[in-house]
Amino acid sequence: MIQHKKMLELVNHLHTAVEACIDKNDLKTLLVDLVEFTRMHFSTEEQLMKKYDFPGFAKHHQEHRMLLKHLGYLVTAVSNGEYPTFYSDYDVSTDWALLHITDFDISLGAFLNSKNVY
Ligand SMILES: [Fe+2]
Ligand SMILES: [Fe+2]
């Protein structure tokens, strides 16, 4: 899915920005862009899951909510002047996006393909 490519680009961008210790305000902008895109992407998937009656909807939806909560937590932390780190409460590693795509989205993709949705 083309949206996954864009989402991973945004996640990688954020990761690189934190490594480079960019300015907090610039970091917040990147984070907000990522959150907005992720929200839109999750909603796209959820609409397709509902439309085609995907059997794993409840679990997948719950996972999306959990990830958005994590991202919301990061936005609050950065807004409060904290600087995110890797593999902590303020984790900005790329893992969450990659794991979600491999653990959840691949099976959704296969299901949608079987319904002739690509
Ligand atoms: Fe998903
Ligand atoms: Fe996805």
- Which domains does the chain possess? 2-114 (1.20.120.50)
Span from the CA of 38 to the centroid of ligand 1 (angstroms): 9
Q: Which of 16, 8, 78 is nearest to 41 (CA)?
A: 8
Q: What is the pTM of this model?
A: 0.91
Q: What integer best gives the mean pLDDT of the chain?
A: 91
**For residue 95, what are the CA distances in angstroms to 15, 21, 49?**
10, 19, 24
Span from the CA of 25 to the centroid of ligand 2 (angstroms): 27
Task: Of 36-40, 88-92, 113-117, give the lowest mean pLDDT range.
Answer: 88-92
Span from the CA of 22 to the centroid of ligand 1 (angstroms): 29
Span from the CA of 106 to the centroid of ligand 1 (angstroms): 9
Neighbours of ion ligand 2 (CB under 5 A): 105
